[in-house]
Structure 1
Amino acid sequence: MKAKYILFILAAGILGACNKNLEIAPPSNVTPENYLVEESQLAAYAIKLYEAFPTFGYFDGDVNTDIAARRAYDVKYTPGQWKVAQSGGAWTFTNIFQCNYFLETVNPRFAEGKITGNTANIKHYIGEMYFLRAWTYFDRLQGLGDFPIIKTTLPDNKTILTEASKRAPQTEVARFILSDLDSAILLMGNAAPSGGKNRLSKACAQLLKSRVALYEGTFLKYFKGTAFVPNGPEWPGKTKEYNASYKFQSGSIEGEIDFFLTQAMEASKAVADGITLVNNTMAAATQVSNQDFAVASEANPYCRMFSATDLSSFSEVLLWRDYDLGLGVANGIPNNVQAAHNWGFTRGYVDRFLMANGLPIYAPGSGYAGDDSIQLVREKRDGRLWLFLAQPGQINILQPSALGTHATPVVGYPDILNLIGNHDQVTGYMSRKGNVYDGAQLGNGRGDVGSIVFKGTEAFFNYMEASYEKTGSLDGIAQAYWQAIRKRAGVDIDFQKTIAATDLTREALNDWAVYSAGVMVDKVLYNIRRERSCELIGEGTRNMDLKRWRAMDQMIATPYFVEGFKLWGPMKNWYKASALTYNIGDKSTVSDPAISPYLRIYQKTPSVLAYTGYRWTMAHYWSSVAMQHFLITSENNDVSTSPIYQNPGWPIEANRGAIGF
Structure 2
Amino acid sequence: MKLYKLFLLALPILGATSCNDYLEQEPPSYLTPENFYTSEDQVQAAANKFYQDILPGHGGWDYGTYITDNNTDNQMSLYPDNKFGTGLWKVSNTNDDWSWSNVRNVNYQLGQIVEKYKAGEISGSDNNLRQYIGELYFFRAYAYFTLLQRFGDLPIITQALPDEESVLVAADKREPCNEVARFIINNLDTAMTYMPKSGFATTRVTYDAANLFKSRVALYEGSWLTNFAGTPFVPNGNGWPGAAKNADYKYPSGSIEAEAKFFFTTAAEAAEQVAEKYKGNLSVNTGKVPQSLDDPANPYLSIWGSTDDSKVPDVILWRQYSKSLGVRNDVEVAVQKGNIGTGFTRSLIEGYLMKDGKPIYASQYEYVDTSLSKVRTNRDPRLSVFLKAPGDINCFKNVDDESGDHWTRIETIPAITNSNPEDGYVTGYAIRKGMTFDRALTANGGSYNVCVVFRATEALLNYMEAEYMLTKSLSGKVLEYWEDVRRAAGFTGEAVNPLTTINATDMSKETLDWGAYSAGQLLSDKVLYNIRRERRCELIAEGLRGMDLQRWRSYDQLMKTPAHTEGIHLWGTPMEKWYKNLVANGSSNSNVSSSSLSAYLRPHEKIKANNNFFNGLTWHMAHYLEPLPIRQFLLTASDHATISESPLYQNPYWPTTPDSPAEQ
Range into which the TM-score falls when normalised by the shorter chain: over 0.9
Question: Would the aligned equivalents of 2:343 and 2:429 in 1 still touch at CA under 8 Å?
Answer: yes
Aligned residue for 2:549, secondary structure, equals helix
Structure 2 matches for 1:227-376, cutoff 5 A? 227-240=232-245, 243-275=246-278, 276-280=280-284, 282-283=286-287, 293=291, 299-339=297-337, 340-363=339-362, 365-376=363-374
Structure 1 unpaired stretches of 5+: 1-10, 285-289
Match of 2:410 in 1: 410
For 1:34, the equivalent position in structure 2 comes to 35
Q: Deviations over 1:437-493 (max 9, x none)?
A: 121111122222322111111001000000001110112411111001111222211
Paired residues for 1:559-578 under 5 Å = 559-568=562-571, 569-576=573-580
Deviates more, 1:622-631 or 1:403-412: 403-412
Q: Which residue of 1 aligns with 2:506?
A: 503
Residue equivalent to 2:381: 383
- Aligned counterpart, 1:580: 582
2:227 is matched with 222
Match of 2:3 in 1: none
What is the rounded CA distance, in whole Å, between the counterparts of 1:587 and 1:41 in structure 2?
Answer: 59
- 2:455 maps to 455
**1:351–1:59: structure 2 CA closer, same or farther, 3 Å change rule?**
farther
How far residue 328 of structure 1 moved from its aligned partner, in angstroms, is 2.1
C-alpha contact (below 8 Å) 2:586/2:606 kept by paired residues: no
Contact 1:21–1:92, Cα closer than 8 Å, also in 2: no
Q: Distance in 2 between matches of 1:174 and 1:595?
A: 44
| 1-structure distance, mates of 2:247, 2:474 | 39
The worse-fitting range, judged by mean Cα deviation, of 531-540 and 15-24 is 15-24
Report sequence identity in percent: 43
Between the aligned partners of 1:17 and 1:530, the Cα distance in structure 2 is 52
CA contact (8 A) 2:283 2:312 kept: no
Q: 1:335, 1:643 → 2: CA distance?
A: 48
1:445 alignment partner in structure 2: 445
Q: 1:658 to 1:456 in 2, by over 3 A?
A: same
- The aligned residue for residue 593 of structure 1 is 595
What are the residue-to-residue correspondences of 1:436-585 with 2, within 5 Å? 436-491=436-491, 492-508=495-511, 510-521=512-523, 522-568=525-571, 569-576=573-580, 579-585=581-587
How far apart in 2 are the matches of 1:170 and 1:20? Answer: 31
* Aligned residues of 1:547 and 1:621 also touching (Cα < 8 A): yes
- In 1, the alpha carbon distance for the partners of 2:534 and 2:20 equals 42
Moved more, 417-426 or 544-553: 417-426
Structure-2 change in CA distance of 1:98 and 1:18 (3 Å):
farther
State the shift of 1:553 in Å. Answer: 0.7
Given candidates 649, 661, 664, the residue that maps to 1:657 is: 661
User: Matched residues in 2 for 1:628 and 1:34: separation?
Assistant: 39
TM-score of the two chains, using structure 1 as the length reference: 0.93
Partner-residue secondary structure (3-state), 1:379: coil
Is the 8 Å Cα contact of residues 148 and 154 (structure 2) preserved in structure 1?
yes
Q: CA deviation at 1:420?
A: 3.4
Q: Bigger CA drift: 178-187 or 418-427?
A: 418-427
Whichever structure has more helix as a proportion of its residues is 1
| 2-structure distance, mates of 1:602, 1:119 | 57
Confirm whether residue 148 of structure 1 aligns to residue 183 of structure 2: no
2-side partners of 1:296 and 1:361: how far apart? 34
CA contact (8 A) 1:58 1:336 kept: no
Q: Pick closer, same or farther for the CA change 1:16–1:346 going to 2, 3 Å.
A: farther
> 2:81 aligned to 56, 74, 78, which one?
74
Q: Is the contact made by 2:287 and 2:382 (CA closer than 8 Å) also made in structure 1?
A: no
Query: Distance in 2 between the 1:546 and 1:66 partners?
Result: 9
Task: State how 1:625-640 maps to structure 2 within 5 Å.
Answer: 625-634=628-637, 635-640=639-644
CA distance in 2, matches of 1:519, 1:415: 37
Alignment of 1:599-618 (within 5 A): 599-606=601-608, 607-618=610-621
Q: Distance in 2 between matches of 1:387 and 1:548?
A: 29
**SS of 2:90's equivalent?**
coil
Contact 1:191 1:197 in 2 (8 A): no
Distance change >3 Å, CA 47–CA 89, structure 1 → 2 = same
Could you give the per-residue CA deviations for residues 525-576 of structure 1, whole angstroms, max 9, x where no partner exists?
0000000010111111000000000001111111110001111121112211
Instruction: Report SS of the residue matched to 1:452.
Output: strand
The Cα of 1:324 is off from its aligned counterpart by: 2.3
Pair 1:373–1:640, CA change in 2 (3 A): same
Residues 186-240 of structure 1 show CA distances to partners (whole Å, capped at 9, x for unaligned) of 11122365xx111110001000100000000011000001000001110000122
Which residue identity is paired with 1:380? N
Q: What SS does structure 2 have at the residue aligned with 1:69? A: strand
Cα shift at 1:103: 1.3
Instruction: Kindly indicate whether residue 627 of structure 2 is the aligned counterpart of residue 620 of structure 1.
Output: no
Distance 1:185 1:603, change over 3 A: same
1:574–1:20 Cα change, 3 Å: farther
1:174 Cα deviation after fit: 0.4
Aligned residue pairs, count: 636
**Quick one: distance in 1 between partners of 2:18 and 2:536?**
38
Matched AA of 1:251: G
1:213 aligns to 2:212 (yes or no)? no
Change in CA separation of 1:282 and 1:169 when aligned onto 2, cut-off 3 Å? same
1:58-207 alignment to 2 at 5 Å?
Answer: 58-59=62-63, 61-191=68-198, 193=200, 196-207=201-212
Alpha-carbon offset, residue 264 of structure 1: 0.1
TM-superposed CA distance for 1:163, in Å, is 1.0
The separation in 2 between residues aligned to 1:589 and 1:207, in whole angstroms, is: 44
Change (3 A) 1:331 1:16: farther
Taking the aligned partners of 2:463 and 2:82, their CA distance within structure 1 comes to: 34
Decide which moves more: 321-330 or 94-103: 321-330
Counterpart of 1:46 in structure 2 is 47
The CA deviation at 1:59 is 4.5
CA distance in structure 2 between the aligned counterparts of 1:297 and 1:43, rounded to whole angstroms: 42
Instruction: Supply the distance in 1 between the matched residues of 2:20 and 2:567 (Cα, whole angstroms).
Output: 43
Deviations 1:485-525 (A, max 9, x none): 111222211211211111111111x1011111112221000
By how many angstroms is 1:19 displaced?
A: 9.1
In 2, Cα distance between the equivalents of 1:14 and 1:565? 52
Deviations 1:118-142 (A, max 9, x none): 1121111111011000000001111
User: Helix, strand or coil: the match of 2:277?
Assistant: coil
SS at match of 1:632: helix
Matched position secondary structure for 1:318: strand
Asked if the contact 1:513–1:549 (Cα under 8 Å) also holds between the matched residues in 2, the reply is yes
TM norm structure 2: 0.92
1:454 match: secondary structure: strand
Partners of 1:283 and 1:184 lie apart in 2 by 38
Distance 1:341 1:517, change over 3 A: same
For residues 19 and 540 of structure 2, the distance between their equivalents in structure 1, rounded to whole angstroms, comes to: 36
Superposed CA deviations along residues 147-167 of structure 1, whole A, max 9, x for unmatched, are 000011111122211111110
Check conservation: 2:291, 2:394, Cα contact below 8 A.
no
Q: Secondary structure at the match of 1:565?
A: coil
Query: Is the 1:265–1:466 Cα contact (8 Å) retained in structure 2?
Result: yes
Q: Is the 8 A contact 2:145 2:184 kept in 1?
A: yes
Q: Residues 395 and 217 from structure 1, CA distance in 2 versus in 1: closer, same or farther, beyond 3 angstroms?
A: same
Q: Secondary structure at the match of 2:453?
A: strand
Q: CA deviation at 1:27?
A: 3.6
